[in-house]
Amino acid sequence: MAVYTEVTDDALNAFLAHYDLGRVLSFKGIAEGVENSNFLLHMEAGFFILTLYERRVKEGDLPFFIGLMEHLAQRGVVCPQPVPARNGEALGRLAGRCAAIVTFLDGLWLRRPLARHCGQVGEALARMHQAGADFAPRRPNALSIGGWPALFEIAGPRADEVMPGLAEEVAAELGKLRGVWPSELPSGVIHADLFPDNVFFLGDRLSGLIDFYFACDDFFAYDLGICLNAWCFEPDGGFDVGKGAAMIEGYQRVRRLASKEVEALPILARGSALRFLLTRLVDWLNVPEGALVAPKNPLEYLNRMRFHQNVGSARDYGWSA
Amino acid sequence: MAVYTEVTDDALNAFLAHYDLGRVLSFKGIAEGVENSNFLLHMEAGFFILTLYERRVKEGDLPFFIGLMEHLAQRGVVCPQPVPARNGEALGRLAGRCAAIVTFLDGLWLRRPLARHCGQVGEALARMHQAGADFAPRRPNALSIGGWPALFEIAGPRADEVMPGLAEEVAAELGKLRGVWPSELPSGVIHADLFPDNVFFLGDRLSGLIDFYFACDDFFAYDLGICLNAWCFEPDGGFDVGKGAAMIEGYQRVRRLASKEVEALPILARGSALRFLLTRLVDWLNVPEGALVAPKNPLEYLNRMRFHQNVGSARDYGWSA
């Protein structure tokens, strides 16, 4: 949740004057989304979301994200649609930030997803992977194995403040994964952050995906590993193999995993636990001035990483041939 | 801005099952309102606001606030309308809190109001005073002169942490005001918190009032004093007499001030500056665990209080006979 930037009346009106959406009727900060400032925008033309892109989103990456949302929506993936200004551009500037208006997407994110929801998430993830196959722009994943040492350089020296011995444990894991990380797996555009708060449901039906601001090129199965981490652990820390099975089955209903993807899944899930452990650690140790969001506990992902270390094969996630 | 309470899927669905509003389509925390948790609620029947009442709002007072909004709306004051559940009750329980659904009110609050806006605020304030004349329930103002000593008891001992000498200055002001506070002035239901973020505009026209959770019985002119404080000071601390004149004229277009109200205005404005100084001081010194809202600087109101101390008569606020 976040509204980091104050928008003055004059600035808002000047910005909206570039759009064909009629008069502004309401403008309210939304307490969701960690990275950017989001506002509910009611215009005569309807309800929209106005996003101001903050710190972690690089300006140069925005055309990739905006283009991807347009591309996916054209191929039936329900996601927010960028609304172009009269000059045809979906990206503008407001209050010193890059800003975009996207369509308002109905749906609720689930605070307590069940196995049947995980199945639909797996399916939607696979559909997104397929729909992105002919998306031409490229964006390397800065938060995959190549980017972790840089994160560890920032967070490592103070990691033991969070838990004694953490720095050593992370360093060892980095070294271990470097030796076993796969190099040749089916890949393409992945969501890379498909947590429950980024998936909307209407009743029990998945209704749309949001927040493509970590999307990038990487292994499809790595995206599945992220989702196993994000959806299939219980509040008490245990892995729910029923949810994992539902998710993997859902995924395979749309896109069959190759045997080397199945084989690599434990390492990929393990790496994705390390990825969130590292970014959360950086955030935990560097809460920005005036932040309205409590940073998330990094140790949740330490526990998940340890779980994956003990996984023998994809069967432990619920995969079956 | 605030979302203090997490609402689970099951709890939300159970709560909404009591209403005739169709299926829930969207549910988002809103980053506005300091006292309560507010959510944008899109139902098949339309857009609404769901409020969970937090700490400072007493449960026993809620029927007063809900009843007042209904009463005022019936008399043409545009404000959110409580939506009753099927059992006829507008107040329910959700996530351990009292909760109510109110209609979604279009309009934007002005970050930088101008004199012409202040005129409309004065007018709307007077209309609210008139519309509330036949509202029967009573609610004494716990945050008027009788309640300030209790606030000072909480904040006084640590006031000098905020500014050396502050405790002494506030104590002296409390004593001074006790001696000169008026006792017989036209009174009735007042808003008591009509700050810019509680007044909506569509374009340049005032479109509605929100947040009646400080409403109570007190002098009408005290409410005007609060508005002079809330609307007519510039960011640099100076009082804008053009705004004051517009506000008082606007008020008098609807309801003429009696001469003793005009006479008492400087003391009432001074008292209202002290009231916000005291409550902000209490908040400043007691930021609750997990608060998502930065407390407002109390010293802003010290400067306003000092300004009022040097006011000779209501003419200094822009009043003219």
pLDDT band at A4, cuts 50/70/90? Answer: low
Which has the closest alpha carbon to A111: B268, B27, B202, B119? Answer: B27
The string of pLDDT tens digits covering residues B174-210 is 999 999 999 999 999 999 999 999 999 999 999 999 9
The CATH number that domain B9-103 falls under is 3.30.200.20
CB contact under 8 A, B26 and A290: no
The string of pLDDT tens digits covering residues B237-257 is 999 999 999 999 999 999 999
Residue ranges of chain A that CATH labels 3.90.1200.10: 115-317
pLDDT, greater one: B58 or B227: B227
Q: Concatenated DSSP letters for A252-290? A: HHHSPPPHHHHHHHHHHHHHHHHHHHHHHHHHHH-PPTT
- Residues of chain B that touch chain A, judged by Cβ-Cβ distance less than 8 Å: 1-3, 6-10, 12, 23-32, 40, 42, 47, 104-108, 110-112, 202-203, 290, 292-294
Q: Please check the confidence at residue A275 and state whether its pLDDT lies above 80.
A: yes
Q: Concatenated DSSP letters for B261-309? A: HHHHHHHHHHHHHHHHHHHHHHHHH-PPTT--SPPPPTHHHHHHHHHHH
Which has the closest alpha carbon to B154: B141, B165, B170, B139? Answer: B170
- Residues of chain A that touch chain B, judged by Cβ-Cβ distance less than 8 Å: 1-3, 6-10, 12, 23-32, 40, 42, 47, 104-108, 110-112, 202-203, 290, 292-294
pLDDT, greater one: A265 or A33: A265
Of 3.40.50.12280, 1.10.1040.50, 3.90.1200.10, 3.30.230.10, the CATH number of B109-317 is: 3.90.1200.10
3-state secondary structure of A164: coil
The CATH number that domain A115-317 falls under is 3.90.1200.10
Predicted confidence at residue A11, as pLDDT, reads 94
Q: Please check the confidence at residue B213 and state whether its pLDDT lies above 90.
A: yes
Q: Which residues of A touch B26 (CB under 8 A)?
A: 104-108
Chain A to chain B, count of Cβ pairs less than 8 Å apart? Answer: 90
Which has the closest alpha carbon to B274: B146, B125, B118? Answer: B146
pLDDT band at B149, cuts 50/70/90? Answer: very high
The string of pLDDT tens digits covering residues B94-135 is 999 999 999 999 999 998 999 999 999 999 999 999 999 999
3-state secondary structure of A300: helix
How many helices (H) and strands (E) in chain A?
9, 9
pLDDT band at B4, cuts 50/70/90? Answer: low
Predicted confidence at residue B319, as pLDDT, reads 97
Average pLDDT over residues A65-80: 96
Average pLDDT over chain A, rounded to an integer = 93
Q: Which of A262-266, A274-278, B271-275, B283-287 has the lowest mean pLDDT?
A: B283-287
Predicted confidence at residue B1, as pLDDT, reads 37
Residue ranges of chain A that CATH labels 3.30.200.20: 9-103
CB contact under 8 A, B10 and A294: no
Contact between residue B99 and residue B110 where contact means Cβ atoms under 8 Å apart: no
Residue B178, phi then psi, degrees to nearest 5? -60, -35
Minimal C-alpha gap between B149 and chain A (Å): 32
3-state secondary structure of B27: strand
Contact between residue B30 and residue B41 where contact means Cβ atoms under 8 Å apart: no
